[in-house]
Structure 1
């Protein structure tokens, strides 16, 4: 939500405006002499999707032995899950 506020008012009540921006997500266009001169808005959170390939490339890689052990763990978990699916805790 975008609103306008004078630079003087923002300077006098700076912490209030910062709280409104950070906690409520408000967006202010700051004016001086009736003309827009700046913006006060929340900083974008998170990362951009375009950064994903770089993030994935920076992750550590499993060695051959670790990858095989991980695959075995996944297979064992799937088998255990298949056996547990037949169990009904409400059955007496």
Structure 2
């Protein structure tokens, strides 16, 4: 992980983003102290969404449970066109 000052990060922000996009992590310091770490973003997938929905969230009301179930059916079934009747 590379370390740069806040001033350098500000002046070379585009280069900083290029480095992060390329997989590099960067620590930004101000006054000699680390104030931020920038890492590449984790790519999210439909599988991540499906897993989150299937694990359930406490406190769902009965209508929301049905909506989530409908959404899961759409995610799993490629033959369903959600825009057919729109």
TM-score (ref. length: structure 1): 0.52
Q: How many residue pairs end up in the alignment?
A: 59
1:59 to 73, 77, 85: 73
Structure 1: segments with no counterpart, 5+ residues: 63-92
Structure 2: segments with no counterpart, 5+ residues: 56-67, 78-86
Hey, which bits of structure 1, 4+ residues long, moved more than 6 A? none
- More helix as a share of residues: 1
Q: What is the CA-CA distance between 1:52 and the residue it aligns to?
A: 6.0
Counterpart in 1 of 2:35?
37
SS in 1 for 2:10: helix
CA RMSD of the aligned region, Å? 2.7
TM-score (ref. length: structure 2): 0.55
